[in-house]
Structure 1
């Protein structure tokens, strides 16, 4: 792991001291699971489940906050099994899907979800024309129930297609009262009013957290980073971890610690667990 500054190292030490009262939260794709061409095959890192269970032994709660539908994240992450193990240790695993619109926990084994947003049907009606006009008719459109994501990763020039699609999809989303969330070769359109930052705030309120760590990798995690920064300004021990890659580095300037992908995230967690147990 690489601290972005001496302040980052001091923040890590302060977080270790507060670990027993802290919540540790993660994005899913690019943080706990590798980025792959087919998002439906983005299974959690094979070591992640064991590490998350060990982590729960030294912190107050563990959470996953993802843009994925909750059911998909549960299945790809084996998170129901992980949650059972964490529950057996007297702790809680929280899952916020679709940027916080859906939620599940290891003590409440059901997904709570709202209805699809108004305007999504009209957006979908006009989407094929927008894709054709941007010369991206073959982009894969993922149905998330409460949102739709347009992936350019499989196209011949993913970056160029992403750049062409962003303006028309943003205009189409705004016209239908929806918000647009850009990511790594993906543009997601969903309902307004919820983001990962608000999910962080809910977790803090519900758990009474005395510390907060968030690890993410992408533009969709910016609101979560900003929410944690506000907690830090209020005096809470916090740590922001960027799971960096060659494709995306927007979070690096906001981070206290930079690691390299899911392998780096797990290495950091192992160090944190050892330091918390010896403190």
Structure 2
């Protein structure tokens, strides 16, 4: 765990002092789950369920904010069972799926989701020929219902395939009224106007947060970081955590704390739990 500045270390202390007012937002892939070649096998870190339960006992709310469909996060994380345990402590677990387009909570146990965006079906019909022209026909296509993602990680030269696909996919997305979300060897296409920053704002307002900790690892978390920084300007205690990797470093200059992937995130959360306990005991 590495603080990026003395000010960042001070922010951590302020967060500990107000921990019972804090909302914690966590990305799924790269934060709670390691990045793997097959996104259908991105199971949550073995230690994460217990850490989430322990964390819920000291903060106002815990939320998973992910680009994945909410049902996928529930299944891969066993988060419905985690939510049951958190509920026994009188707290609530939230999932904001597909960048906040979907919502689930451990008290309202159904996924609330809009209809697929106009233009997505047309995009998907043209996608196979685009991938063939980009010499990436074997890339893995993940259909999410409200979005589609093309993963190049399995290809022999994942980075080169990514660079070939990104411009034509962005052009085709624009032609169909959609937007592109680049990531770690993945290009996602979805409806415009919704991002993780909106999920942060919604959580802060609905939970009357006095503080906010957010942990992310990729470009899709930039808006969430910006939203938390705006909360800081409003006087909330905040902490921005980057789960760093060799593949993506965009969040590093924005972060208060840089940690090595899911192991580092869980270590930080354990430290927060321990430090909050010490502060309570005086």
Query: Which of the five TM-score ranges fits, normalised by the shorter chain?
Result: over 0.9
Distance 1:111 1:125 in 2: 27
Q: Give the SS at the match of 1:116.
A: coil
Distance 1:209 1:84 in 2: 23
Query: 1:199, CA displacement in angstroms?
Result: 0.5
In the alignment, structure 2 segments of 5+ residues that lack a partner are none
- Divergent runs of 4+, >6 A: none
Distance 1:122 1:246 in 2: 35
Q: Give the SS at the match of 2:163.
A: helix
Residue in structure 1 matched with residue 188 of structure 2 by the alignment: 188
Residue in structure 2 matched with residue 268 of structure 1 by the alignment: 268
State yes or no: 1:178 paired with 2:214.
no
Distance 2:59 2:79 in 1: 18
Distance 1:184 1:101 in 2: 21
Residue in structure 2 matched with residue 66 of structure 1 by the alignment: 66
Query: 1:190, CA displacement in angstroms?
Result: 0.6
Q: Give the SS at the match of 1:224.
A: helix
Q: Give the SS at the match of 2:205.
A: helix
Query: 1:191, CA displacement in angstroms?
Result: 0.9
Map 1:27-106 onto structure 2 (within 5 A): 27-106=27-106
Distance 1:245 1:147 in 2: 25
Distance 2:194 2:92 in 1: 22
Q: Give the SS at the match of 2:166.
A: helix
Map 1:232-251 onto structure 2 (within 5 A): 232-251=232-251
Distance 1:225 1:167 in 2: 26
Distance 2:72 2:45 in 1: 15
Query: 1:250, CA displacement in angstroms?
Result: 1.0
In the alignment, structure 1 segments of 5+ residues that lack a partner are none
Residue in structure 2 matched with residue 144 of structure 1 by the alignment: 144
Distance 1:276 1:194 in 2: 34
Length-normalised TM-score, structure 2 = 0.98
Deviation per CA, 1:168-193: give whole Å up to 9, x if none.
10111011111110110000001112
Pairwise CA RMSD: 0.6
Distance 1:182 1:239 in 2: 24
Q: Give the SS at the match of 2:85.
A: helix
Map 1:189-268 onto structure 2 (within 5 A): 189-268=189-268
Q: Give the SS at the match of 1:209.
A: coil
Distance 2:262 2:81 in 1: 20
